[in-house]
Structure 1
Amino acid sequence: MAKTATKGTKKVTAKPAAKPAAKATAKATTAAKGAAKVAKPAAKAMAKAAPKAKPAKKAGVKLSMLRPSVNNMTVRVFTRAAGLDHSETDAWGLTRTPEFLARNPAHLTPMIEDKGLPRGVLWESCAIMQYLANKHGLDKFYPKAPAKRAMVDSAMFYLVGTLYPYVARATYPALGFPQYAGEVGHSDAHPDRKSEAQKAAAAAIAEPLEVFHSFFRDGKPFIGGANPSIADIRLAATLEFLAVIDYALPKWAKDYMAAIEKKLGNAYAEPAGDVRGYIAHVKSQAAA
């Protein structure tokens, strides 16, 4: 009788207790799942709404420059057109100071300071543009394809080796810039001799200038093709100086310079404005 009673008691008390507990657990589990389903969209919404943390801004390139110079204008245009983070320091009157010479014994501008450089600094406008274009992958301004890059390089080297010396000899006397040692303009030659040399240099500009039109552009809007390359920026800036001697640019050159300014917008117009302002000042002084 005891065994039977015990068994019965167990059956009667165990089953009713277990079912409510199981049901309660099941309900709790279902509720938890429902809450999780509600919580996931809410979490996603909060994640979207929360502002993303901006990465720390890297230090930009430090540029030392002279506003009236077209060599300096070249890099000033490029850094703006390329959207590079940079700061500018006017080095007028500072290039021969011990502090400047300690970093740049050539005392030349434009000069950039960048941690990635072996000596920390770099001068020469074409080298600066090449370096920055390579570092930041700016193929638009300096193509990676060997043949296209070679043409851009050739145009720049032809400019600095052939065209620019003529431009310098023709314009520096009027601009009040120092003449290069060994040049007639730098010597004690009679003013008539200096004037003759200046006129001869101006007359020589037409031939190399036409080479840029017929060979390097070859029917394209720019040397770089549809978009201005670093060679185009260097050429356009160089031609800005010719206004000081009222040089009669051919129509294609005028259109070419206007097209570059239109394409690059304020990136070109702002630095060009400094050069043009200086030229206007020089011409007004000469006329006074």
Structure 2
Amino acid sequence: MGLKLYHYSISGPSRSAYMAIKTMGIPVEVIIIDLMKKEQLQESFVKINPQHCVPTVDDDGFVLWESKAIACYLAEKHGREDLYPKEIKHRAIVNQRLYFDSATLLPHIRAINHPILFEGVKEIRKPLKDNLNVTLGFLNQFLSESKWVAGETMTLADIAISSSIATVSALDWDFSEFPNIQRWFKQCEAIAGFEENIKGATLYGQAVKKNLEK
């Protein structure tokens, strides 16, 4: 059967899983689940994933969702210690950065975008903008200490966080105070599937900016 990825490129986490799979060179069948058309609520997909979210993978009958769980599972399965190191302290840093994305960076991005997309909000509110900039400052600091976000080589943490930063960038965010992020994000162009990441983020950004214009 091989690996199937249920995917929607507007979703940052889904783009992250896609890039991880492409970076590992794993053959994959990509199945588009259009969230805007509520295809995630179709009975056939709910049977696969009752939480009906993307990304979801089906690996020869083993079903898993949550982008970071997917990336770590596949890296372990395919022996990609370069992306998810075995050495305990290096792995701990990679995990910390992954959790930083899930628990801090992504929530601040969503706090800005979701009210604009779904609640009729017409502006990026200053407190939310300030919160995101504080978080970007943390990332900028991480990148002052190493070439990549978790050391001197690219890991799953870079793949995950690059999907989030692509979303922020698509809002025409001012990164002038974060030169390390700018330097690192340019490096991320070498990540397999990064072009898809930018395309999906651009579509997301366009939807947000369209609602702001209204």
Could you tell me the TM-score, scaled by structure 1's length? Answer: 0.66
1:252 maps onto 2:172 in alignment: no
2:134 maps to a residue whose letter is: E
**What's the CA shift string for 1:4-36, capped at 9, x where partnerless?**
xxxxxxxxxxxxxxxxxxxxxxxxxxxxxxxxx
Contact 1:77 1:267 in 2 (8 A): yes
Match of 2:101? 159
How many Å apart are 1:256 and its aligned residue?
Answer: 1.3
Task: Measure the CA separation in 2 of the matches of 1:281 and 1:168.
Answer: 14
**What's the CA shift string for 1:46-101, capped at 9, x where partnerless?**
xxxxxxxxxxxxx4310001121111110111111111111101011321111111
C-alpha change, 1:165 and 1:281, in structure 2 (3 Å) is: closer
Task: Measure the CA separation in 2 of the matches of 1:274 and 1:195.
Answer: 22
Match of 1:134? 76
Contact 2:9 2:196 in 1 (8 A): no
Contact 2:166 2:197 in 1 (8 A): no
C-alpha change, 1:153 and 1:233, in structure 2 (3 Å) is: same
3-state secondary structure, aligned to 1:77: helix
With a CA cutoff of 8 Å and minimum separation of 6, indicate the structure with the bigger relative contact order: 2
Map residues 1-288 of structure 1 onto 2, 5 A cutoff: 59-92=1-34, 93-115=38-60, 120-174=62-116, 176=117, 178=118, 198-215=125-142, 217-249=143-175, 250-261=178-189, 263-264=190-191, 267-280=193-206, 283=209, 287=213
Contact 1:64 1:111 in 2 (8 A): yes
Task: Measure the CA separation in 2 of the matches of 1:218 and 1:144.
Answer: 24
Unaligned runs of 5+ in 2: none
Task: Measure the CA separation in 2 of the matches of 1:224 and 1:278.
Answer: 27
Contact 1:73 1:271 in 2 (8 A): yes
How many Å apart are 1:219 and its aligned residue?
Answer: 2.3
Unaligned runs of 5+ in 1: 1-58, 179-184, 186-190
How many Å apart are 1:220 and its aligned residue?
Answer: 1.3
How many Å apart are 1:164 and its aligned residue?
Answer: 1.2
Contact 1:171 1:242 in 2 (8 A): no
C-alpha change, 1:173 and 1:136, in structure 2 (3 Å) is: same
2:85 maps to a residue whose letter is: P
Task: Measure the CA separation in 1 of the matches of 2:212 and 2:96.
Answer: 37
Measured on the aligned residues, the alpha-carbon RMSD in Å equals 2.4
How many Å apart are 1:233 and its aligned residue?
Answer: 1.0
Task: Measure the CA separation in 1 of the matches of 2:128 and 2:108.
Answer: 5
Match of 1:16? none
Percent of counterpart pairs with the same letter? 23
How many Å apart are 1:251 and its aligned residue?
Answer: 2.3
Could you tell me the TM-score, scaled by structure 2's length? Answer: 0.87
How many Å apart are 1:223 and its aligned residue?
Answer: 2.0
3-state secondary structure, aligned to 2:39: coil
C-alpha change, 1:197 and 1:252, in structure 2 (3 Å) is: same
